Amino acid sequence: MLSIDNLQANVEDKNILKGLSLEIKPGEIHAIMGPNGSGKSTLGYVLSGREGYEVTGGTATLNGDNLFDLEADERAKKGLFLAFQYPVEIPGVSNMEFLKASVDTVREYQGKDALDTVSFMKLAREKCNAVNLDPHFLKRGVNEGFSGGEKKRNEIMQMMLLEPSLCILDETDSGLDIDALQVVADGVNACRDPNRSFIIVTHYQRLLDYIVPDKVHVLSDGKIIKSGGKELARELEKKGYSWIEKA
């Protein structure tokens, strides 16, 4: 599914990722943990193609396509999805209009049938209910005036609509109360599929109680310094990161 080899990347000429390698097979859930400033969010941005995040070495392929040859929108069409830590507010563009444009483009690219407006609205309302978001949010501007939790649920809803093959969740649990965390986790679990993989970037082990990962990686100073099973997350929660970094 996703194959990252010796990835190095700069942000504003500062070297953030320093040789990161990661292999994710279809259907797997990988958690990435690590201290602040270790490059977790940068990984998400580099993979999704944000401008200003410059790849200086290494490769990343998604289902055989070299990601760095593609524009951000082309990566999305090929099935990459990033749930943002801080989703952008876009007043004036309605959530519905945005979702329809997005789903239309991606479905067309993937050769799926176009959805007419009525069936799309039905589907969007369904997904809203799935993440416990009132359907009137569809009429509002994209993320405009949404609370932190509503923004995160809006991200998960988009993920459900776009049916991506690789989902990267960038600290989706941060700022969520326990109920919202449960909703987000249920949303992710509902999306689990033998052909869909997840990268879950998080600070806390708590989310991983709800979404059980196949592997846990510790990212520190731009590199993965330790990988293990789900029990690694628990160990980190107890001991912090310093015991690995010192080792």
Partner 1 sequence: MNISLQNSTAEFLNSGSSISESLTSTLEDYINSSESTPDWLKTLKLNSIKSLSDFSIPSRKMEHWKYNDISSVISNPLGLKKDSELAKQPSTVDLNKLNLPLMSSVLCVFIDGEYSEGLSNLRQQEGFEVTTFKDASETQIEEIKSSLVSAAQQKNLFIQINDSVSMNGLYLKIDANKKSVMPIYLIYLSTNDDSQLTNNQVVINCNQNSQSCIVEHFINLNNETEDSSQLACQQTILELGENSHCDHYRISTGSKNINKISRLLVKLAKDSNLSSFHFSEGAVLDKTDIDVWHQGSNSESKMTGIYLPSEKNQIDFHTCVEHQVPHCNSRETFRGIIADSSSATFNGKIHIFKDAQKSDAQLSNKNLLLTNQAQINTKPELEIYADDVVCAHGATIAKIDEKAVYYLKSRGISETQAKKMLSVGFINELLDEINQTELHKYLTDKVQSSLSNLK
Which residues make up the interface to partner 1 (CB under 8 A)? Answer: 48-51, 71-73, 75-77, 81-82, 84, 87-88, 90-93, 97-98, 101-102, 105-106, 109, 141-142, 158, 162
Q: Minimum CB separation from partner 1 for residue 205, in Å?
A: 28
Minimum CB distance to partner 1 smaller for 141 or for 175 = 141
DSSP string, the chain: -EEEEEEEEEETTEEEEEEEEEEE-TT-EEEEE--TTSSHHHHHHHHHT-TTEEEEEEEEEETTEEGGGS-HHHHHHTTEEEE-SSPPPEEEEEHHHHHHHHHHHHHHHTTPPPPPHHHHHHHHHHHHHHTT--GGGGTSEETTT--HHHHHHHHHHHHHHH--SEEEEESTTTT--HHHHHHHHHHHHHH-BTTBEEEEE-S-SHHHHHS--SEEEEEETTEEEEEE-THHHHHHHHH-SHHHHH-
Q: Minimum CB separation from partner 1 for residue 47, in Å?
A: 10
Q: Minimum CB separation from partner 1 for residue 46, in Å?
A: 12
Strand order in the sheet with 14-24: 14-24, 2-11, 53-62, 65-66
Minimum CB distance to partner 1 smaller for 80 or for 200 = 80
Contact 144, 97 (CB under 8 A): no
| Bridge partners of residue 216, in order along the sequence | 31, 228
Minimum CB distance to partner 1 smaller for 76 or for 236 = 76
Minimum CB distance to partner 1 smaller for 86 or for 210 = 86
Minimum CB distance to partner 1 smaller for 45 or for 241 = 45
Q: Minimum CB separation from partner 1 for residue 167, in Å?
A: 12
Q: Minimum CB separation from partner 1 for residue 137, in Å?
A: 16
Q: Minimum CB separation from partner 1 for residue 81, in Å?
A: 8
Integer Cα distance of 91 and 98 in angstroms? 11
Q: Minimum CB separation from partner 1 for residue 186, in Å?
A: 22
Minimum CB distance to partner 1 smaller for 109 or for 210 = 109
Minimum CB distance to partner 1 smaller for 146 or for 241 = 146
